Amino acid sequence: MARFEHAVAVITGAGSGIGEAAAKSLASEGAKVILVGRTLSKLERVASEINDGTEEKAFPIACDVTSETEVEKLKKTIKEKFPNVTHLINNAGASAYSSILDMPYDQWQSIVAVNLDSVFLASKAIGSVMVEAAKNEDEPRDRSIVNVASLSGHKPGLMFPHYSAAKAAVMNFTQSLASELARHRIRVNSVSPGFVETPLTEQGLQNDSFVKSIERHTAMKRVGEPEEIATVISFVASTDASYMTGSDILVDGGWLIT
């Protein structure tokens, strides 16, 4: 079943991890995907794997989504080339380890910018393109925004309070945006992954004690895979979730119930 036939999805942080998996998932069900991230070479690799010598379905665009100037340029490009964009997946993210008392202010600003400011900037820019498209169509189409939050937004991590605070804010922002865009028939939800094997967790997962701690505190006794999060993102973005907006789906392997 091609749930995203004729859909056009913008995906931030699409060069690896959950963003890459989400792009491949949506493209496999018919969507054209605009791959957004800082490193063009990573995006081009993902695009080549999606296109695979067949119909061009993936389009890489380098953009720092923490920069208002660059996001405005992205908006202009999207509006010119893909004016009928239907989906936005806000997935860009980064983390760092520090206690609050030892944290440099510039580290706080950097982590909050990637995880929260990027969601605001991309939602404002691409959301306005989606609203304009919705106003100009004869037959209403399903449009949605999915923000990737985190288990850490539900239960803050001890050594990454900036990341945890930003992800909690993403969930709150999701509800505000859902309320604002409902009149335009645009749904907005968030998905909160637990510990997943991505470049964000790569360093930590090389530490045996860290891995054992995850297994001990996770009901399913393992780390998640990007594809397991991507399938949930695809569900939330699709018409299968047509009566869902302002919600957060926790996909944590049972961390919070242990």
Which residues are designated catalytic? Answer: 163
Closest to 145 in 3D by CA, of 203, 94, 186, 113: 186
**How far apart, in whole angstroms, are the C-alpha atoms of residue 101 and residue 31?**
45
Q: How many angstroms separate the CA atoms of 190 and 147, rounded? A: 4
CB count within 10 Å of CB 116 equals 24
Backbone conformation region of residue 55, classed left if phi is above 0, alpha if psi is from -120 to 50, else beta: beta
Which runs of consecutive H residues, i.e. helices, occur in 82-150? 105-112, 118-135
Residues 4 and 30 sit within 8 Å (Cβ to Cβ): yes
The total of other beta-carbon atoms located within 10 Å of residue 212's CB is 10
Helix (H) / strand (E) containing 171: helix 161-181
Place of tokens 């309070």: 161
Q: Which two tokens stand for residue 253?
A: 């392997």
Decide: 90 and 145 in contact? Cβ < 8 Å. Answer: yes
97 in Cβ contact with 70 (< 8 Å): no
